Amino acid sequence: MAIVAQTPDILGERQSGQDVRTQNVVACQAVANIVKSSLGPVGLDKMLVDDIGDVTITNDGATILKMLEVEHPAAKVLVELAELQDREVGDGTTSVVILAAELLKRANDLVRNKIHPTSIISGYRLAMREACKYVDEKLAVKVEKLGKDSLVNCAKTSMSSKLIAIDSDFFANLVVDAVQGVKTTNARGEVKYPIKSINILKAHGKSAKDSYLLNGYALNTGRAAQGMPTKVAPARIACLDFNLQKTKMQMGVQVLVTDPRELEKIREREADITKERIQKLLKAGANVVLTTKGIDDMSLKYFVEAGAIAVRRVRKEDLRHVAKATGATVVTTFADMEGEETFDSSFLGHADEVIEERIADDDVILIKGTKNTSAVSLILRGANDYMLDEMDRALHDALCIVKRTLESNTVVAGGGAVEAALSVYLEYLATTLGSREQLAIAEFAESLLVIPKVLAVNAAKDATELVAKLRAYHHTAQTKADKQHLSSMGLDLSKGTTRNNLEAGVIEPAMSKVKIIQFATEAAITILRIDDMIRLIKDERENEED
C-alpha cells in the first residue's frame, strides 16, 4: 500500500515492508527470466534493437543486461552484478543473475513465513562460506592432473553456449595459443597472462574457420601515405597524443598585424613549427610514428622523405597497449619545463619490425617482436558484422576463462555438477544446525538446483528426472567413501543423460564457480535488506516560484 506523505515538506510516496520486498523480487525475476533461456550449450540467442535501430544478436548475459534500459532500482543491482562478474571472471554472467534471482525469490517466501530477514541473511552468508570452502577442498581438481587438454576443454566449455560452438575445437586451440602467447613473469616472479595485450581484429569475408592467430599487435589502420615503406626493421616507435598538423593559434588567441608583409612571415613560421617538431622526432631515431590525432599532407612529406611509417587516428586504447608492449611513453606535448620543445629518445618504444599487411580488404599495421610483453592478435573472419561481434564476445569469455584457469590452476566439473553437489552437501549441513539459519541454508541448497534445472529445460529435456538422478549420484558420492568419483557427475545435454563431466572434458575454473556463488549471494542480501522505499516527487510549487 503506497502512503503519500502528507507533511508539507516532503512530497513523494513511501512503500515499506512486504510490498517493497515483493516488488523487488518480481523485478529481479523479470530480469533473470530474460537471460534464463540463454544459459547452457543449447541456450537461445537474444536480438536487441536499440533506440536508433542498431541490432545486437547475443546470448552473453552481461551484454544483454547492459543493453536493456532497466528502470527498477533493485533490478539495476542485478545488471551491475552481471558486469562485476564479467570484469572479475569474464564468464558466468548468466548463471550469476539466475542464481541471485532464485535466492531472492526463496528468501522472500521465508520472510512471508515470518522468518526475520536478518536470520535469512546470516544463514545465506554461512551457506555461501561453506559452499566456497567445499568447492575448494572437495570438488576442485588441480590442472596438472588433467594436462594441456584441460585448458582447451575449459575454453570449449565456455564457448559451448555461444554461436561458435560448432567450431569450438578450432577456436579453443586458438584461444589457448593466444593466452599462452602473452605469458609474462613480473618482478615478483608471478606468472601473469595479460589478455589485454591480445588484440581482436574483425575482418569480413571467408568463413569463421579461416580465423587465425598473428604474432604481433595489429592496428586496424594503414599507413598514412602510399610513399611510406611497408616494412621497417628494427622499429623505434613514437606514441603521440596530439596533432601533427600545420600549427594554428589556439581558439581565442588574436594576432593583430599592422604590416601586411609580416602576415606571410607568420604563415611561414606556422609551417616551420610543425616541421621542427617532426625533425625532432626523426632526430631522436623514431622510424614509426603513431598518433591518435591527424597528420596533414605537409607533415606526411617529411615522413615519406625520411622513410618512416606514420599512422594517424590510432585508437587511444590501442596506443596504450602498444606503448606498454614496446616500452614507449605516450607523449602528449613536446614542451619541457623550460618552455622549449624537446623529444628525448628514451620515449621511444622498440620492436623487431613493423609491417603493413592486407587482411581482407583492409590494411593493417603489425607490430612484431615487442620489447616488454609479447603481443598477439586474433584475426576473426565471418559472414557479417553480427556474427563477428558475437564471435568477439565469445572469445573474450573464453580468453578470460583460460587466463583464470592458468592463474588459479584448479578446475571443477561443469554441467550442473558443482551446483548439485553443493545442494546435497548444504542440505545435509542444514539438518545439523539447531538454529534458525537451518531454513535459510536449506533454501540456499534448493536455489542452487536452479542452474541444472534451467540447463535441462533449455535443452528440451526432462528437468525433474535429470536433477533427481544428479542428486542421487552426488548423495552416494558424499556418503560412501569408495564412490568419490561420482562427485563430478553432471548433465550431458545433447543426449539428455548424466555423465562424468571431468572425463567428458566439460570443465570450468573453480574460481568462476566460487565467484558466482559469492556475487549472487551478496546481491541477494543487498536487495533483501531493503524494507522501505521512498520515492520523492519534484515539488511543482518551487518551479513556479523560480
Q: Which three cell numbers stand for residue 247?
A: 600549427
Q: What angle do CA 465, 466, 472 make, to 5 degrees?
A: 90
Q: Is 497 a catalytic residue?
A: no
Handedness of CA 155, 158, 163, 169 (dihedral sign): positive
Identity (one letter) of the amino acid at 401? I
538 DSSP β-pair partners: none
283, 229 Cβ separation under 8 angstroms: no
449 DSSP β-pair partners: none
Residue labelled with grid coordinates 580468453: 399
Q: Is 60 a catalytic residue?
A: yes
Please give the C-alpha separations between residue 118 and each of 20, 27, 111, 529, in angstroms, as whole numbers.
16, 22, 10, 8
Please give the C-alpha separations between residue 53 and each of 47, 250, 325, in angstroms, as whole numbers.
11, 39, 38
Phi, psi of 287 (to 5 degrees): -120, 0
Helix (H, G, I), strand (E, B) or coil at 103: helix
Phi, psi of 107 (to 5 degrees): -65, -40
Residue ranges in 370-432 assigned as alpha helix (H): 385-408, 417-432
* Residue 114 CA from chain centroid, whole number: 40
286, 308 Cβ separation under 8 angstroms: yes
Rounded Cα gap, residues 294 and 127, in angstroms:
57
Q: Is 93 a catalytic residue?
A: yes
Q: Catalytic: which of 45, 91, 389, 397? A: 397
Burial class (CB in 10 A: 0-12, 13-18, 19+), 361: exposed
Q: Which three cell numbers stand for residue 453?
A: 534445472
Q: Catalytic: which of 56, 58, 93, 157? A: 93
Phi, psi of 336 (to 5 degrees): -110, -170
Residue 45 DSSP one-character state: P
Q: Is 94 a catalytic residue?
A: yes
Helix (H, G, I), strand (E, B) or coil at 506: coil
What are 431-436's contacts with CB under 8 Å, separation 24+? 436/115, 436/116, 436/119, 436/123
Handedness of CA 289, 295, 298, 300 (dihedral sign): positive
Rounded Cα gap, residues 491 and 455, in angstroms:
8
Query: In terms of Cα–Cα distance, which of 40, 153, 49, 2 is closest to 459?
Result: 40
Q: Catalytic: which of 45, 56, 58, 60? A: 60
Rounded Cα gap, residues 130 and 426, in angstroms:
8
Residues with a known catalytic role? 60, 93-94, 397
